[in-house]
């Protein structure tokens, strides 16, 4: 695995610089920032893949554009802010990365945020599942290209 760089590394450092309680507040900020789905997906929930490992219903969809850049879209209900926060971290952290760079993101990235105590390890598994699903979709898009 390569050294984590770019936005994901910054996000990790931001979390680790905070006290436990403030880490939750930062996660809440991410949750609030989860962008709305683009219009082409808003009316087509069938295009989105449900991540079963998360406690709350969360749907993700990955695009790889002509330049090989990955775009991750995600939606989760307002009643599931932790899941929204996880999704938002990945949406922001993976933005602008190439498919190869996304595939090189360490699978244990969620465990490096220092959230296990504030959120519980069980809940963090949902974020690992999100990352795993996103990577799998990237691989499928590459194979289909």
Do 60 and 137 form a contact (C-beta atoms < 8 A)? Answer: yes
Minimum CB separation from another protein for residue 143, in Å?
26
Site string for another protein, 42-61 (x = CB under 8 A): ----------xx-xxx----
Minimum CB separation from another protein for residue 81, in Å?
4
Q: What is the DSSP string of 79-135?
A: T-HHHHHHHHHHHHHHTT-BHHHHHTS-TTGGGGSS-HHHH-HHHHHHHHHHHHHHH
Residues 81-120 that bind another protein (CB under 8 A): 81-83, 85, 117-120
Residues 2-31 that bind another protein (CB under 8 A): 24-25, 27-28, 31
Minimum CB separation from another protein for residue 82, in Å?
5
């Amino acid at each position: 695995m390569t050294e984590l760089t770019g936005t994901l590394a910054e996000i990790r450092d931001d979390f680790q610089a905070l006290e436990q309680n403030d880490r939750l507040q930062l996660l809440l900020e991410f949750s609030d920032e989860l962008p709305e789905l683009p219009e082409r997906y808003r009316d087509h929930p069938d295009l989105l893949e449900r991540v079963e490992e998360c406690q709350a219903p969360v749907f993700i969809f990955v695009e790889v554009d002509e330049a090989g850049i990955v775009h991750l879209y995600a939606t989760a209900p307002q009643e599931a802010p932790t899941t929204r926060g996880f999704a938002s971290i990945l949406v922001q952290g993976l933005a602008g990365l190439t498919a190869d760079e996304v595939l090189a993101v360490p699978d244990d990235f969620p465990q490096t945020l220092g959230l296990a105590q504030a959120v519980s390890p069980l809940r963090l598994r949902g974020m690992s599942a999100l990352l795993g699903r996103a990577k799998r979709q990237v691989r499928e898009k590459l194979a289909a290209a």
